[in-house]
A and B are shown apart, each in its own frame.
Chain A
């Protein structure tokens, strides 16, 4: 038996260390540790609630608009306001374009070097000891698409900038809409970009990953995990605010899509470097203090659970629950579902652009409230994202965020059950213990983002003192 630690796992966002136990050439146990703690929610305490949209998006530079959208929904909930039809469409367009950007960068820039051999220059050098299996011609073709995708992801950010001022970290989303009025010129400019993105997504991405799946077929079996899937749903309809991608829960034990109730969400800190809270880990009450020397703890990520179950979220979960992708659950299926979603979102952004009504308001003035509770739930690039907010005397009293990566890369809970990604690693064959690239492939299929996953909130005013000790 060998025990090995992989750190840093590259081509993901922020530091992740993975420890695995390997027996007879396969993984028998795994531990995912996130290695960065910044304490973002703690900073939210006592700030103007309206600042939450532009402040919380600074948690993450690759999915910034997801946090902006979730914070915006929480504010809408707390203030009791809704966005105008144009506002909803523009928020969807900004969010959708960011998802396109993220998926392109994930599939090509982050994942592809695991299967496709890059040119002889850094950052593709030094070359990992990988069993590259693609014939040279196909390899070159996919590498060409790699560079194309890198350029197109920047174009997707341009689409955000048209309506959102800039990207990353847009600066135009408000609780009642978006501050940029859509005129014919802006819509045309956005449509030109959307057309390029759609062409690439429809004609190349799915095919590219079918090719990779063809040459690396074992990854359609490797990396399954629990098979528990969850989604909050996303993209409200401008007229009736019904979600265009539905939310739900699919448990491996009963193999049925069920309705989701956020009140069953709870976070465990059994294996996280935080002191045990008294509230039982409910997002609206959770109180947590970092505790660096805690025995048995090994990560800065907490372990969210739904009805005490570890669940996976992300594009595969979304499309499984919506019944559009049911090929299987594995590392490769996660990539294929993502490629499928890319095309869907490109198409949707095109429809929303057409639905925009120039001359109609994209935003309207609103009244703030001194007291209130707000919950903002939406699926994001990597899965289910929730912002919980309590407003007291016009300021934020409590803020809690549970991110997709917290769900997917969570550590063990008090019942010592592994997180979904840890479970997915079990059984992964490892040929060369030194490079262990198979583990990287499984982990990257989740598109982990540790910048998002790590945070805590504590409303006790003396918390700083306890932190230093």
Chain B
């Protein structure tokens, strides 16, 4: 079994090997030896396109077979289960009764709220139709963890695009309990499986202010972009298909938190920027309205030189970090600007509209002050974390030693 530190290192490395392929055999071994139980998983689809299920099924190594037979107990998933109608609903109900506070609830698709949720029924129980929102609330109440997967489930996503005809919302806006968000359109299988792994073995992963695991969504796409050097050298593509920086074609990499450049897609085959197309920011809470038009580039906010601008902009958005009122405010300033610049034509979401405009100089000062404050806070937080980690580390070490002893005895 990997230690948490090793696990985090693996996640951060991203490249060269598939995360899933490294983790899952380990997880299967643990499940076999009885160290952990095969986890009951209930996977419900609300206002979705099934893309996240398909993406999960794209896990290559280990195969889908291993996933189902050795790693998780997929008790309810209407795309895969043999049973239908009453029998499938009974399987769902049995899991809730027998594995109360033990099962993981995975939600795919956004919560349809218009007309009391009547635009989306998902099953019948004792002859009466149940809406997606009612079932979500009921299932979330007894779940050990609630894990919205994909951008629709996390914050509404494409289903909630303006004018949001079905009143679609993210799961966290509807239920009153903590969630672990795994966004993406679709969510990368590594993100879904990696988060599950962390939940089973180490509990809840460290989350950012948007409840995303920092191990996958801690840095911007721009930060680790495979074409970063083109940006630094000022070589910008004017048309899709040119092998250079996609910034002027509307790339949202500078404000998007995800590890696509190192993880890449479909088992390390490719990713959008390497395919000479701009990133469309699908893991961001503002996706898709705040990221459209796809081919219009981010507002040029001149701070200290061209390179600094997008970096700082991203930092100031504050999505990647859990700290601070200050960053939150800065985030508003910038998201307000992004909203205005990018959504022309469609009405932006209420949460990302700020009417107030700041003159350039004033804005610059404000941001600098806020960033400084933010840096200080972050430093404090790091210290605090280190302290607590030391403590946790000792406990973990002690446990490990004890575990080893008992293991040797049985040998």
Contact = CB atoms under 8 A, between A and B. Distances in A.
Contacts of A61: 48-55, 186
B336 interface: no
B276 A180 contact: yes
Interface string B125-164: 0010100000000000000000000000000011101111
21 contacts: A10-B78, A15-B120, A35-B120, A38-B119, A45-B163, A51-B294, A58-B158, A58-B185, A61-B52, A124-B81, A150-B64, A150-B65, A154-B266, A158-B269, A160-B266, A166-B270, A166-B272, A179-B277, A361-B241, A362-B241, A463-B163
A467 B85 contact: no
B84 A147 contact: no
B68 A123 contact: yes
Q: Is the interface on chain B under 10, 10 to 19, 20 to 34, or 35 or more residues?
A: 35 or more
Interface in A450-469: 451, 456, 463-464, 467-468
B246 to A, nearest CB: 10
A363 B49 contact: no
A365 interface: yes
B114 interface: yes
A11 B81 CA distance: 7
Interface in A170-212: 171-172, 174, 177-181
B161 A154 contact: no
Given A15-B121, A48-B293, A165-B277, A126 B83 contact: yes
B240 A363 contact: yes
A431 to B, nearest CB: 15
Nearest to A128: B83
Contacts of A365: 238-239
A440 interface: yes
Contact of A48 (B52, B78, B122, B292): B292
B280 A124 contact: no
B81 A37 contact: no
A180 B240 CA distance: 9
A340 B40 CA distance: 38
A238 interface: no
A179 B250 CA distance: 15
A105 B73 contact: no
B80 interface: yes
Contacts of A164: 270, 275
A160 B168 CA distance: 30
Contact of B48 (A14, A40, A50): A14
Interface string A3-43: 00111111111110100000000000000000111111011
Residue of B47, B60, B163, B346 most packed against chain A (CB within 10 A):
B163
Contacts of B275: 163-165, 171-172, 179-180
Contacts of A395: 345
B80 A147 contact: no
B271 interface: yes
A174 B123 CA distance: 39
Nearest to B279: A171
Interface in A291-322: 292, 300
Contacts of A74: none
A157 B241 contact: no
Contacts of A292: 115, 118-119
Interface stretch (A113-121, A228-236, A279-287, A410-418): A113-121
B122 A46 contact: no
B68 A161 contact: no
A59 interface: yes
B165 interface: yes
B163 A43 contact: yes
Interface of B: 45, 47-55, 57-60, 63-65, 68-69, 73-91, 112, 114-115, 118-124, 127, 129, 157-159, 161-166, 168, 185-186, 238-241, 265-267, 269-272, 274-277, 280, 288, 292-296, 345-346
Contacts of B272: 165-166, 171-172
A121 B275 CA distance: 40
B118 to A, nearest CB: 6
A436 interface: yes
A434 interface: yes
Contacts of B241: 174, 177-181, 361-363
| From A51, A128, A179, residue with most partner B Cβ within 10 Å | A179
B293 A51 contact: yes
B90 A126 contact: yes
Contact of B265 (A60, A161, A434): A161
A2 B335 CA distance: 58
B81 A150 contact: no
B362 to A, nearest CB: 32
* Pairs of residues from A and B, 7 with the lowest C-beta to C-beta distance, nearest first: A61-B51, A39-B165, A166-B265, A165-B275, A48-B293, A161-B266, A123-B81
Contact of B54 (A35, A163, A168): A168
